[in-house]
Every structure is written in structure tokens, then in C-alpha cells.
Structure 1
Amino acid sequence: MSESEQQYSQPLVEHLIELRRRLMWLILGVLICFLGLMPFSQQLYSFVANPLMATLPANTSMIATDVVAPFFVPVKVTLMVAFLLSLPHTLYQVWAFVAPALYQNEKRLITPLVLSSVILFFTGMAFAYFLVFPIIFKFLAGVTPVGVNMATDIDKYLSFVLGMFVAFGTTFEVPVVVVLLNRMGIVSPAQLKVARPYVIVGAFVIAAVITPPDIISQIMLAVPLILLYEAGLLLCRFMKPADRDDED
């Protein structure tokens, strides 16, 4: 191996070692939160299941069709909560790994973007839990045919809830995406304004695919998506694209 090849491979090895170290700290943070929350796994699952349980008919409850589901479903909920609680630590590890490769102006930008991303994701989850879920489950309970017992499997319920959490949490990231694209100079506020009709149509298409087939829940996803897009557009009008002359 030539001297130039050795000089090239050495930084790569160092980056891989640093990546492994950051991944270990990341996993350790999630594991510590998970172990600390395990004694409360049943309470955490009850909290997640409450929107559906509140709308079920009297003397009706959820069921477990799998033998190990009563144990593993609360564990999955606990793991999800542990990941969310350790998210600041996780983002710090990601930041610590990529920060040396960023320009100074990019470092100043990434901190508010990361903080706003976390806040908006949690806001989207809270919006789904407190506003969307009660309406969806009330609608589903209302259209259940006479003589049919609405006994939902706990594992399938958890999969549905997690999917909705991810959908609404991701939807609420729209302002961050819009601002980032504008800050990088990929799109301008004028282009974003021209794309508004397509965004409105796309919002309702996404809502129709993600949410159950009722118009109320579709509107409750599409309208926030459109409003958040407008919020991102408004922020872009007060910002300018990145200027490479300011980079170190």
C-alpha cells in the first residue's frame, strides 16, 4: 500500500471507530431509559390504549390473540417511550459525529432545526393522541354493525397507533423541511408559493392514504399539513439562502 493510500484509509478507520462509539452511546441511552421504564410498562400501555378504551361499548375490552402478546405489547410500548425520552441524547450523539464536517454557519443553523424538529414531532404525536384518536375511534365504534363485538387485538392496535404517531409526527416536520430547502438555496419563497396548489392536493391525498376512511380524520391531517406548509413559507420570507462566502 502506498503512502497516499495509507493516509486516505487512516481517516476512514478513525471515522468508523468514532461512528461505532457514538452508536454504542446511543444504544446505551435508549437501554437505560428502557430499563428504568420497565416497571411502569403496564401503566404506559394503559395510557396508550386509553383513547380506544374510552370509546368501546360497555362490558367490552380488547383481546390478545397471541399467547405472548400480553407481555410483549407493553414491552414494545415501553421501548417506544424510551426511544422518545432518549431522543435528545440520540440527537446529541448524531450531532457530535457530524459536527466536525460542518461549516460554521451550518452549525449555527442545525441547532434550532434539531430543536424545532423534536418539538414539532412531539406536537404531532400529541395532536394525534388527544384530538385525532378520540374522533377516529368514536367514528369506528359508530359504524360497527349491529351484533358485531368491537374487540380489537392489542398487537394490531399498537401497530395502528404507532403508524399514526409516525404519520402525524412526520407531517408536523413540514416547516423544518421547507425552511431547510430554502436555506440551502434549493427552492425560493416564490417557488414555494407557486407550488401551493400542488401541496394542497398532495396533503389530502396523503391524508386519504394514511388515515381511516372517514372525512373528519382526513381533514384533521390535511389541514395541519397545509397550515404548517404556510408557516414554513412565512419563515422563509424572513430568511435568505446560505452564502458560501460566509463559510469557514
Structure 2
Amino acid sequence: MAKKNVNDMSFLDHLEDLRWHLIRATLGIMVAATAAFIAKKFIFETIIFGPTHMSFPTYRWLCSMSEIVGVETSFCAEKFPFIIQNRTVAGQFSAHIWTSIYAGFIVAFPYVIYQFWHFISPGMHSNERRSSRGFIIVASLLFFLGVLFGYYVVTPLSLNFLANYSISDSISNEFDVSSVIAIVRSSALASGIVFELPIIIYFLTKIGLVTPKFLKKYRKFALVIVLILSAIITPPDIASQVIVAIPILILYQVSIYISAIVLRNQKRKEKRHARQHS
């Protein structure tokens, strides 16, 4: 059956359309999650527990950098001073389920974004649809870059700091498996979402909620928010917070340029429209 014209659709029709897009997105996530559930050994041994081994690429690189500058660091240790244990009956199975769902969402993100775009695109003008064709690619690229940043930068810095932090030599670190997995999952996913900032600013500018002038005016407040956000998703040491804050600040500056471009294009369209009707 042919799809209804968006102008002829009632509010309930839009809700029904949204429901089917959400169902398709959920099915896409579940298919990817099923594949992740089956690939248990690769997901956990290689990906999730990768940052818990000192052979992880980030630790090797940081160790090399510290040797060049002649600074002693825990990044050059042979192994972490902790063990991973499971203390609940269903702990490992629960971790397997939830990790698979997280992995499914990350892998299926382009399809989820496609469903979102497919829902809003009928309400766009033809020229707007043409100019937004790269939306799925750009949004997915930013998300995956954020996930990689969270996995290869935020996660190793967090684990290294927390694993080597001690209030007494009489205390040994025996981390619960759910706690270790949570650090990896939350760091990767949170960074992926943060890297969507330019996309968010693009849409907020399109609907008139933000402008380049507004973003520049409140840049100082944004800096404070970025530092707070960096403190939340990283361990409480200055070096880690700065490393995380730098790309977020760059994304904020990029968002200002994107907002300016969107606003400039809107003004050009308004001028063309005014000339056509004059």
C-alpha cells in the first residue's frame, strides 16, 4: 500500500508511522544484539576485557611516550594490580545479556538513525532532503568516532587510574565483573553520544532554538559544562579530564561553524523567496 501524503496524515497517523519506525529500529538492534550474544568470546575476551591487559595499544603508546620524556608511569607495568570476579549467581549471564544489547545498539546505530531520518524526511522540502542525504553517514561517523575515543582513551585512563588508586596497602582490589564492564560500556556509549553534538546543534539551529551568536555568547559556560562532563566520565585527575575535554571543545567550535552555515543558508532561502514573490 502506498504511503500517505504527509500533509494528509492525522496526528494518530504520525504516531502509527513513528511506532513502526521504532519497531524496525528495535528489531535492527535485536538482530545485532543476537549476533553479539553469539560472538561471546570475541566480545568479552577481545573487546570488553581488552583494556584490562597491559598489552592494550593505548597503554603501550602511553608507556612509549613516558619513556621518551623520562617519566615513570603505571602504564609500563606488566599487569594490573587487580582481579576480576563474579559475586552474584546470575552476574555473568546478566552481563552477557546487557553487553549484547549495548553492542547491538552501537552496531545498529546507522540503521537506527536511518529510521529516524526516514520518519522526519517526508516533512522536509525536496531541496532539504537532498541537502540532508549525508546526514546518516555524518551522524554515524561521529558516533563511531566517539565510541572509539571512549574505548581507546576514556576507558584505559579510567581503568588505569582506578586500578592503581589505593588508600591503604592492606587493601587488595577485587573488582566485580559488572563494575568493569560498566566502565567500558558507559565510557564508549557516553562518548559516542557526546560526539553527536554537531548534529544536535544543526537541528537546534534549524528549528531556531540556537544561533551562532548564542553559542559564542555562552562559550564560557559551555567550557565549564565540558569540564564538568569530563570529570564525570573520567577519573578525577587533571590529565585525563584535559584529554577528554579537548575533543569536546573542538566539537563545540565546529558546532558554531555549522550553526552559522545553517543560519546563512536559511537567510539566503528567505531572500530568494522574497524576490520570487516581489
Tell me if TM exceeds 0.5: yes
Gaps of 5+ in 2: 1-7, 55-76, 274-278
Offset of 1:64 from its aligned partner? 0.8
Alpha-carbon separation, structure 2, partners of 1:10 and 1:186: 26
Alignment-derived partner of residue 115 in structure 1? 137
Contact 1:175 / 1:231 at 8 angstroms: preserved in 2?
yes
Distance change (3 Å), C-alpha of 1:12 and 1:193: closer
Alpha-carbon separation, structure 2, partners of 1:58 and 1:205: 28
Alignment-derived partner of residue 6 in structure 1? none
TM-score (norm 1): 0.81
Alignment-derived partner of residue 5 in structure 1? none
Q: How many positions carry a matched residue from both structures? A: 239
What secondary structure is seen at the aligned counterpart in 2 of 1:61?
strand
Alpha-carbon separation, structure 2, partners of 1:93 and 1:177: 17
Alignment-derived partner of residue 57 in structure 2? none
What secondary structure is seen at the aligned counterpart in 2 of 1:148?
coil
Alignment-derived partner of residue 266 in structure 2? 242
Amino acid at match of 1:198: F
Give yes or no for the alignment of 1:103 onto 2:103. no
Q: Calculate percent identity across the aligned residue pairs.
A: 25
Offset of 1:44 from its aligned partner? 0.2
Alignment-derived partner of residue 222 in structure 1? 245
Which residue, 166, 172, 177 being the options, matches 1:154?
177
Alignment-derived partner of residue 86 in structure 1? 108
Offset of 1:18 from its aligned partner? 2.8
TM-score (norm 2): 0.73
Alpha-carbon separation, structure 2, partners of 1:188 and 1:211: 30
Distance change (3 Å), C-alpha of 1:137 and 1:143: same
Amino acid at match of 2:169: V
Offset of 1:184 from its aligned partner? 4.1
Distance change (3 Å), C-alpha of 1:15 and 1:175: closer
Contact 1:56 / 1:150 at 8 angstroms: preserved in 2?
no
Moved more, 87-96 or 180-189: 180-189
Kindly provide the CA deviation profile for residues 146-177 of structure 1, in whole angstroms up to 9, marking residues without a partner as x.
Answer: 23222211112222333222322222122223
Gaps of 5+ in 1: 1-8
Offset of 1:95 from its aligned partner? 2.3
What secondary structure is seen at the aligned counterpart in 1 of 2:230?
helix
Give me the CA root mean square deviation.
Answer: 2.9
Offset of 1:40 from its aligned partner? 0.9
Alignment-derived partner of residue 36 in structure 1? 35
Alignment-derived partner of residue 5 in structure 2? none
